[in-house]
Chains A and B, each alone.
Chain A
């Protein structure tokens, strides 16, 4: 079991550092000063403006997976520096030290309101959630293992895209993970992709956009090309709502936008609907229904 499960529910040390007292924090969206404990009680959703603050992978998992049940898969994998890229080894070392994670994703199995699922959560605080060989390998293994064990998959993406420091090797992780999604689909197992703030570049251009159902968190930035690149290319300013979850839903890329506080329920409900033949814990409920109908 991971040590984070024993920690308090939300750990906001990174953002808290800015406020000297440690008890109060400024919301980046509404600029209001919020009591940190209140923010944490509210799943890090700003009680003043509803802004969904970013979560680490560990926070995300503790929010959706039934308490104390998460079983991590493929822990202990760390990146190499295959290109001897300037400062990469150093940056990766720092990211590991700062986050306490091996890399930008945690994968494993954990029931969600008693429905078994393979779950992968990305961590934007680890080098911008970038996908290099470790992220690609862990995501791929998660899809492969889910297929072997007949489990549905849920991913929580929060990533700037492919990890530049691993060059074309990171680009190939798009192909690797997408092909693994394809095999899960062939096995007729559901895949729910939850797109969190932010999900862009190679991560949207691979597994994150290949779900059977796409869920986004309110206000999340989701897109392919970076805002500045687009503005430079077309030589005009983009509207504020461009590449938001709401924008994507309007354009047909997102099934639903679910507030974080409702996410666990929504995932469990969807999973049960998409696993109609699985003898889940709700078999009892179904039997009860039948008994009622028979009467």
Chain B
């Protein structure tokens, strides 16, 4: 039920202007009706419907940069939200047994649908204090080495791995380089490619290059509708390409980092639908959709024998990369 005066192909900023206007009206009306006897229910319902319609219009065809912003949204569901909603009996396993416990990566055992799994995921914080401790979800080598350790445990006890990917990048820091960030990522990729246990990966937010891929090698790759997966952040790409980080919107489009792009490239297997405007606007619906997708993926991979699983996993990545000649 879009406003009759708004053309179907109205420009984005026009829709945004109307949306803000309608939201203001709605807020005002709600305030008035709160303190008084006036029955404004009908009017409020009409405005709400209009807000929904405008949002839908805005999101019928979101730009790649808008999707980047949603993928990075501060209120987007994060690992703790998925952990508490989708898993039970969660037991965190800490430390890489080599140097440290990296808070930027969560590892543990838990139940999904009542059955044991290992969970590995990037762990963005919900506030500044948590984010300082967790480096905004950017792991050090210790995080990847902990992931390797827990993946090997999953292999040993015969349970699948569920990996939840949401990181801007592997942490670019002095200690990270000293302790072998590159080696840790490479090793994790190698171990996951050969792990004799099923692996289901879900890219829930930011799939930031090698820092994401380190825990994103698996048998089924799910990607939330407004998640991104990219070899470089759009800002970095713009800085290299045009020496101007401000051209990030163009770079976001050029990099083809949205879920439909990744599906088309044969990199992800399934897109998990999100509510209009993004998961942060209706987290329970988004989380429920991920539950369904994870359930189907886990059911499918549990059916397979390990040798078949491994050769299919190898082939899955082996065939990515078109060339001429």
Within 8 A of B (CB), among A95-109: 102
Which of A76, A162, A164, A171 has the largest count of B CB atoms less than 10 A from its CB? A171
With A137-B323, A181-B190, A210-B190 as contacts: A175 and B172 at CB distance below 8 Å: no
Question: Are B257 and A176 neighbours in the complex by a CB distance under 8 Å?
Answer: no
With A168-B230, A169-B321 as contacts: A202 and B209 at CB distance below 8 Å: yes
CB-defined interface of B248-285 with A at 8 Å, one 1/0 digit per residue?
A: 00100011110001100101000000000000000000
- The stretch of A22-30, A224-232, A262-270 in contact with B is A224-232
Question: Are B318 and A174 neighbours in the complex by a CB distance under 8 Å?
Answer: no
CB-defined interface of A135-159 with B at 8 Å, one 1/0 digit per residue?
A: 0110010000000000000000000
Instruction: Report the minimum CB–CB distance from A240 to chain B (whole Å).
Output: 14
Bound-complex Cα distance A170 to B325 (A): 18
User: Chain A: how many interface residues by the 8 Å CB criterion?
Assistant: 59
Instruction: Report the minimum CB–CB distance from A27 to chain B (whole Å).
Output: 27
A-B contact count (CB 8 A): 186
Question: Are B240 and A205 neighbours in the complex by a CB distance under 8 Å?
Answer: no
In the complex, which residues of chain B have a beta carbon less than 8 angstroms from the beta carbon of A186?
Answer: 194
A14 proximal to B (CB < 8 A) = no
With A80-B324, A175-B213 as contacts: A224 and B176 at CB distance below 8 Å: yes
Bound-complex Cα distance A102 to B236 (A): 27
Question: Are B321 and A137 neighbours in the complex by a CB distance under 8 Å?
Answer: yes
Question: Are A168 and B172 neighbours in the complex by a CB distance under 8 Å?
Answer: no
Question: Are A204 and B231 neighbours in the complex by a CB distance under 8 Å?
Answer: no
Instruction: Report the minimum CB–CB distance from A86 to chain B (whole Å).
Output: 6
Question: Are B325 and A252 neighbours in the complex by a CB distance under 8 Å?
Answer: no
Question: Are A178 and B172 neighbours in the complex by a CB distance under 8 Å?
Answer: no
Bound-complex Cα distance A86 to B253 (A): 10
Instruction: Report the minimum CB–CB distance from A270 to chain B (whole Å).
Output: 20
Question: Are A167 and B257 neighbours in the complex by a CB distance under 8 Å?
Answer: yes
Within 8 A of A (CB), among B181-234: 181-183, 185-187, 189-190, 193-194, 207, 209-210, 213-214, 217, 229-232
Question: Are A77 and B193 neighbours in the complex by a CB distance under 8 Å?
Answer: no
Bound-complex Cα distance A208 to B250 (A): 32
Question: Are B177 and A223 neighbours in the complex by a CB distance under 8 Å?
Answer: yes
Question: Are A209 and B182 neighbours in the complex by a CB distance under 8 Å?
Answer: yes
A68 proximal to B (CB < 8 A) = no
Chain B residue at smallest Cβ distance from A128: B240
The A contact surface, by secondary structure, is helix
In the complex, which residues of chain B have a beta carbon less than 8 angstroms from the beta carbon of A170?
Answer: 231
Chain A residue at smallest Cβ distance from B319: A176
In the complex, which residues of chain A have a beta carbon less than 8 angstroms from the beta carbon of B177?
Answer: 223-225, 230, 242-243
Bound-complex Cα distance A65 to B20 (A): 68
Residue in contact with B255 in the complex, picked from A136, A140, A167, A224, CB distance below 8 Å: A167
In the complex, which residues of chain A have a beta carbon less than 8 angstroms from the beta carbon of B322?
Answer: 80, 82, 133, 169
B1 proximal to A (CB < 8 A) = no
Within 8 A of A (CB), among B40-63: none
Within 8 A of B (CB), among A69-126: 76-80, 82-83, 85-86, 102
Question: Are B170 and A224 neighbours in the complex by a CB distance under 8 Å?
Answer: yes
In the complex, which residues of chain A have a beta carbon less than 8 angstroms from the beta carbon of B237?
Answer: 164
Instruction: Report the minimum CB–CB distance from B313 to chain A (whole Å).
Output: 8
Within 8 A of B (CB), among A240-292: 242-243, 251-253
Residue in contact with B180 in the complex, picked from A208, A238, A251, CB distance below 8 Å: A251
Give 20 pairs: A residue, B residue, CB < 8 Å, sorted on A: A77-B324, A79-B323, A133-B320, A134-B321, A140-B318, A164-B232, A166-B321, A168-B229, A168-B230, A169-B322, A171-B229, A171-B231, A176-B317, A178-B186, A181-B190, A225-B176, A225-B177, A233-B171, A234-B173, A252-B180
Using a CB–CB cutoff of 8 Å, the interface residues on chain A facing chain B are 76-80, 82-83, 85-86, 102, 132-134, 136-137, 140, 162-164, 166-176, 178-179, 181-183, 186, 201-202, 204-210, 223-226, 229-230, 233-234, 238, 242-243, 251-253
